Amino acid sequence: KKIYPTLWWLFKDGLLPKQTYFVGYARSDLSVQGVRDKTTQYMKLQDDEKDKFEEFWTMNYYVKGTYTERTDFEHLNQEINTLPKGDLAHRLFYLALPPTVFKDVSSNIRLCCMGHEGWSRIIVEKPFGRDLESSADLSQHLSKLFREDQIYRIDHYLGKEMVQNLMVLRFGNKMFSPLWNRDHVQCVVITFKEPFGTMGRGGYFDESGIIRDVMQNHLMQILSLVAMEKPASTSAEDIRDEKVKVLKCMPPLELENVVVGQYTGNPEGEGDAKNGYLDDPTVPKGSVTPTFASAVVFVKTERWDGVPFIMKCGKALNERKAEVRIQFKDVPGDIFGGQCKRNELVIRVQPQEAVYCKMMVKAPGMNINPEESELDLSYGARYKGVKMPDAYERLILDVFCGAQLHFVRSDELGEAWRIFTPLLHKLEKEKIKPVPYKYGSRGPQESDDLARKFGFIFSGTYKWTKPQL
Strands annotated E in 67-110: 91-95
24 near 60, Cβ under 8 Å?
Answer: yes
Which one from 75, 90, 141, 218 is the annotated catalytic residue?
218
Asked about 116 being catalytic, the answer comes back as no
CA dist 82 and 23 (Å) reads 12
Q: Cβ distance 75 to 66 under 8 Å?
A: no
Give the C-alpha separation, 52 to 57, whole Å: 9
Torsion of CA 144, 148, 152, 158, to 10 degrees: 140
Contact, 351 vs 320, CB < 8 A?
yes
Q: Nearest-CA neighbor of 290 among 266, 267, 270, 312?
A: 312
The residue length of the chain stands at 469
Contacts of 385 by beta carbon, 8 Å cutoff, 6+ apart:
none
Task: Name the nearest CA neighbour of 314 among 210, 451, 216, 447.
Answer: 210
* Beta-strand relationship, 120-125 and 151-154: parallel
428: part of which helix (H) or strand (E)?
helix 410-429
Give the C-alpha separation, 10 to 387, whole Å: 13
> 3-class SS at 71?
helix
Alpha-carbon distance of 255 to 446, in angstroms, equals: 13
Write the CA distances from 354 to 194, 240, 380, 395, integer angstroms: 18, 25, 8, 21
Q: Which are the catalytic amino acids?
A: 218
